[in-house]
Amino acid sequence: MDMMPILPETEVEATAALHLGRLLFVFGRMDLNLDQAMLKACAAQDVAREIVRIERLSFEDKLREYEALVLARSTDDAQLLARWQRWFAAAHALHRLRSAFAHGRWGFQNMQQQIVHVSTLPGSPNQDEVRYTLTGFAARVAEVEDIAEEFFALTRPVR
Protein backbone atom coordinates (compact mmCIF):
# COMPACT_ATOMS: atom_id res chain seq x y z
CA MET A 1 0.00 0.00 0.00
CA ASP A 2 1.39 3.40 -0.99
CA MET A 3 1.62 5.92 1.79
CA MET A 4 1.18 9.62 1.26
CA PRO A 5 4.44 11.45 1.95
CA ILE A 6 4.43 13.60 5.06
CA LEU A 7 4.17 17.18 3.89
CA PRO A 8 5.94 20.00 5.68
CA GLU A 9 3.64 21.90 8.04
CA THR A 10 3.36 24.85 5.69
CA GLU A 11 2.29 22.56 2.85
CA VAL A 12 -0.38 20.88 4.97
CA GLU A 13 -1.76 24.31 5.90
CA ALA A 14 -1.50 25.57 2.32
CA THR A 15 -3.32 22.51 0.98
CA ALA A 16 -6.00 22.80 3.67
CA ALA A 17 -6.38 26.51 2.94
CA LEU A 18 -6.83 25.76 -0.77
CA HIS A 19 -9.66 23.33 0.01
CA LEU A 20 -11.25 25.70 2.55
CA GLY A 21 -11.11 28.47 -0.04
CA ARG A 22 -12.84 26.24 -2.60
CA LEU A 23 -15.49 25.52 0.02
CA LEU A 24 -16.08 29.22 0.70
CA PHE A 25 -16.45 29.92 -3.01
CA VAL A 26 -18.99 27.10 -3.38
CA PHE A 27 -20.97 28.29 -0.36
CA GLY A 28 -21.04 31.83 -1.76
CA ARG A 29 -22.06 30.62 -5.21
CA MET A 30 -24.84 28.46 -3.73
CA ASP A 31 -26.17 31.39 -1.71
CA LEU A 32 -26.20 33.66 -4.79
CA ASN A 33 -27.77 30.99 -7.01
CA LEU A 34 -30.47 30.36 -4.41
CA ASP A 35 -31.19 34.11 -4.29
CA GLN A 36 -31.47 34.23 -8.07
CA ALA A 37 -33.73 31.18 -8.20
CA MET A 38 -36.04 32.74 -5.62
CA LEU A 39 -36.19 35.98 -7.60
CA LYS A 40 -36.87 34.11 -10.82
CA ALA A 41 -39.83 32.39 -9.13
CA CYS A 42 -41.52 35.65 -8.15
CA ALA A 43 -43.71 37.91 -10.29
CA ALA A 44 -41.79 40.51 -12.30
CA GLN A 45 -43.55 43.42 -10.58
CA ASP A 46 -42.40 42.10 -7.16
CA VAL A 47 -38.68 41.75 -7.92
CA ALA A 48 -37.53 45.02 -6.29
CA ARG A 49 -39.43 44.27 -3.08
CA GLU A 50 -38.32 40.62 -3.08
CA ILE A 51 -34.65 41.57 -3.45
CA VAL A 52 -34.84 43.52 -0.20
CA ARG A 53 -36.78 40.73 1.55
CA ILE A 54 -34.54 37.89 0.32
CA GLU A 55 -31.37 39.77 1.31
CA ARG A 56 -32.59 39.72 4.92
CA LEU A 57 -33.14 35.97 5.00
CA SER A 58 -30.60 33.50 6.32
CA PHE A 59 -29.40 30.75 4.01
CA GLU A 60 -31.53 28.29 6.00
CA ASP A 61 -34.67 30.44 5.66
CA LYS A 62 -34.10 30.86 1.93
CA LEU A 63 -33.57 27.13 1.55
CA ARG A 64 -36.78 26.26 3.42
CA GLU A 65 -38.83 28.83 1.53
CA TYR A 66 -37.54 27.71 -1.85
CA GLU A 67 -38.04 24.07 -0.89
CA ALA A 68 -41.73 24.64 -0.12
CA LEU A 69 -42.18 26.48 -3.42
CA VAL A 70 -40.36 23.95 -5.61
CA LEU A 71 -41.82 20.83 -4.04
CA ALA A 72 -45.33 22.23 -4.41
CA ARG A 73 -44.65 23.00 -8.08
CA SER A 74 -43.12 19.57 -8.79
CA THR A 75 -45.93 17.31 -7.58
CA ASP A 76 -46.98 16.41 -11.14
CA ASP A 77 -43.55 15.02 -12.07
CA ALA A 78 -42.50 12.17 -9.74
CA GLN A 79 -38.99 11.93 -11.16
CA LEU A 80 -38.35 15.67 -10.83
CA LEU A 81 -39.90 15.71 -7.36
CA ALA A 82 -37.58 12.88 -6.25
CA ARG A 83 -34.57 14.73 -7.66
CA TRP A 84 -35.52 17.89 -5.80
CA GLN A 85 -36.14 15.96 -2.58
CA ARG A 86 -32.66 14.40 -2.81
CA TRP A 87 -31.15 17.80 -3.55
CA PHE A 88 -32.89 19.50 -0.60
CA ALA A 89 -31.75 16.72 1.76
CA ALA A 90 -28.18 17.29 0.57
CA ALA A 91 -28.58 21.08 0.73
CA HIS A 92 -29.80 20.97 4.34
CA ALA A 93 -26.76 18.84 5.21
CA LEU A 94 -24.62 21.40 3.37
CA HIS A 95 -26.17 24.15 5.48
CA ARG A 96 -25.28 22.30 8.69
CA LEU A 97 -21.72 21.80 7.44
CA ARG A 98 -21.45 25.46 6.48
CA SER A 99 -22.66 26.56 9.90
CA ALA A 100 -20.29 24.22 11.72
CA PHE A 101 -17.34 25.30 9.61
CA ALA A 102 -18.11 29.00 10.00
CA HIS A 103 -18.40 28.81 13.78
CA GLY A 104 -15.46 26.57 14.57
CA ARG A 105 -11.74 26.84 14.36
CA TRP A 106 -9.17 24.97 12.34
CA GLY A 107 -5.96 23.24 13.24
CA PHE A 108 -3.52 20.93 11.57
CA GLN A 109 -1.88 17.69 12.61
CA ASN A 110 1.17 17.61 10.42
CA MET A 111 2.45 14.13 11.28
CA GLN A 112 -0.99 12.61 10.71
CA GLN A 113 -1.60 14.80 7.65
CA GLN A 114 -4.92 15.87 9.11
CA ILE A 115 -7.09 18.96 9.15
CA VAL A 116 -8.89 19.34 12.47
CA HIS A 117 -12.12 21.29 12.89
CA VAL A 118 -13.17 22.06 16.47
CA SER A 119 -16.47 23.59 17.58
CA THR A 120 -17.06 25.29 20.93
CA LEU A 121 -14.57 26.76 23.37
CA PRO A 122 -11.43 24.96 24.51
CA GLY A 123 -12.17 22.98 27.67
CA SER A 124 -15.92 22.86 26.99
CA PRO A 125 -17.54 19.52 27.86
CA ASN A 126 -19.51 19.85 24.60
CA GLN A 127 -16.46 20.13 22.38
CA ASP A 128 -16.94 18.64 18.95
CA GLU A 129 -13.84 17.71 16.99
CA VAL A 130 -13.79 16.34 13.45
CA ARG A 131 -10.60 15.23 11.75
CA TYR A 132 -10.12 14.96 8.02
CA THR A 133 -7.25 13.62 6.00
CA LEU A 134 -6.26 15.97 3.21
CA THR A 135 -7.70 13.49 0.70
CA GLY A 136 -10.89 13.06 2.73
CA PHE A 137 -11.38 16.79 3.05
CA ALA A 138 -10.83 17.29 -0.69
CA ALA A 139 -13.48 14.62 -1.31
CA ARG A 140 -15.89 16.44 1.04
CA VAL A 141 -15.32 19.68 -0.88
CA ALA A 142 -15.98 17.82 -4.15
CA GLU A 143 -19.31 16.57 -2.71
CA VAL A 144 -20.29 20.15 -1.91
CA GLU A 145 -19.35 21.19 -5.45
CA ASP A 146 -21.57 18.38 -6.78
CA ILE A 147 -24.51 19.70 -4.73
CA ALA A 148 -23.98 23.16 -6.24
CA GLU A 149 -23.78 21.71 -9.76
CA GLU A 150 -27.00 19.71 -9.27
CA PHE A 151 -28.79 22.88 -8.17
CA PHE A 152 -27.59 24.59 -11.34
CA ALA A 153 -28.81 21.64 -13.42
CA LEU A 154 -32.22 21.62 -11.68
CA THR A 155 -32.75 25.35 -12.11
CA ARG A 156 -31.31 25.72 -15.61
CA PRO A 157 -33.99 26.52 -18.15
CA VAL A 158 -34.74 23.76 -20.62
CA ARG A 159 -33.36 24.71 -24.01
How many separate helices (H) and strands (E) can be counted in the chain?
A: 5, 3
Cα torsion at 89, 91, 93, 99 (round to 10°)?
A: -150
* Entry pTM: 0.81
Cα→Cα distances 6→11, 22, 110, 148, Å: 9, 23, 7, 32
Identify the CA nearest to 36 among candidates 22, 20, 55. Answer: 55
Residue 6 confidence (pLDDT): 58
Taking all residues of the chain, what is their mean pLDDT, rounded to a whole number? Answer: 88
Cβ atoms of residues 144 and 23 within 8 Å: yes
The rounded distance, in Å, linking the Cα atoms of 155 and 39 is 12
Evaluated on CA atoms 150, 71, 100, 50, the torsion sign reads positive
Q: Which helix (DSSP H) or strand (DSSP E) does residue 128 occupy?
A: strand 128-133
Digits of tens for pLDDT over the chain (159 positions)?
A: 455 555 566 788 888 889 889 998 999 999 999 999 999 999 999 999 999 999 999 999 999 999 999 999 999 999 999 999 999 999 999 888 888 777 888 888 877 888 888 887 777 888 888 898 989 989 999 999 999 999 999 998 643
Q: How much of the chain exceeds pLDDT 90, in percent?
A: 55
Residue 5 confidence (pLDDT): 57
The rounded distance, in Å, linking the Cα atoms of 150 and 155 is 9
